[in-house]
């Protein structure tokens, strides 16, 4: 898109189906490399990946012609297929339906990167459910508890 200038940054959060604790630290290292490859091939950039055994956070930058929903679909769909095909104990793996997507200002990028990098420490004090509700509230997103989990 010539003459189109943008800086579209998004913090994405999603969990394993039923928040099953399936993503070991070793597995996440490989998964995050794979997800970065998906983004590279799909013409968007993952700036930071992090998470724990039942959910992940991504900070990515999109071009104006890449919808957020498409980027998340590519990441979730391809990574779940890769996990099922390459890890016999994950042959029924899937991600939750849906996700959280939050815009990020360039001035906040360092804070969000540190937040994502510090997930293991963060979740010693707070559950995924508590974290997700806090993110929704902080971003002033209306929600009904009965539809969250």
**Domain segments of the chain: what residues?**
8-147
Residue 2 predicted with pLDDT over 90: no
Residue 5 predicted with pLDDT over 90: no
- Mean pLDDT score across all residues of the chain: 94
Q: Look at the block and give the residue holding tokens 């979730």.
A: 76
Distance of alpha carbon 59 from alpha carbon 136, whole angstroms: 16
DSSP per-residue letters across 105-145: -GGGHHHHHHHHHTHHHHTTTS-HHHHHHHHHHHTT----G
- pTM equals 0.91
Between the CA of residue 92 and those of 29, 84, 137, what are the distances in Å? 20, 6, 33
Phi, psi of 137 (to 5 degrees): -65, -45
Please report which confidence band the pLDDT of residue 1 belongs to, taking 50, 70 and 90 as the band edges: low
Q: What digits encode the pLDDT tens for the residues 137-146?
A: 999 999 888 8
- Among candidate residues 96, 102, 108, the one with its CA nearest the CA of residue 140: 102
On the 0-12 / 13-18 / 19+ scale of CB atoms within 10 A, 58 is buried
Residue 69 predicted with pLDDT over 70: yes
Distance of alpha carbon 76 from alpha carbon 104, whole angstroms: 21
Residue 101 predicted with pLDDT over 60: yes
Phi, psi of 141 (to 5 degrees): -100, 120
Spell out the CATH class of 8-147: alpha beta
């Amino acid at each position: 898109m010539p003459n189109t200038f943008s800086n579209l940054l998004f913090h994405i959060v999603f969990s394993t189906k039923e928040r099953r604790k399936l993503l070991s630290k070793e597995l996440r290292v490989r998964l995050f490399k794979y997800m970065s490859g998906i983004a590279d091939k799909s013409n968007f950039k993952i700036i930071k990946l992090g998470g724990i055994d039942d959910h992940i956070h991504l900070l990515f930058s999109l071009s104006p012609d890449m919808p957020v929903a498409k980027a998340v679909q590519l990441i979730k769909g391809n990574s779940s297929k890769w996990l099922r095909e390459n890890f016999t104990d994950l042959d029924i793996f899937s991600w939750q339906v849906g996700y959280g997507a939050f815009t990020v200002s360039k001035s906040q990028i360092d804070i969000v990167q540190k937040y994502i990098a510090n997930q293991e420490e963060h979740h010693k004090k707070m559950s995924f459910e508590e974290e997700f509700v806090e993110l929704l509230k902080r971003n002033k997103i209306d929600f009904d508890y009965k539809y969250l989990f």
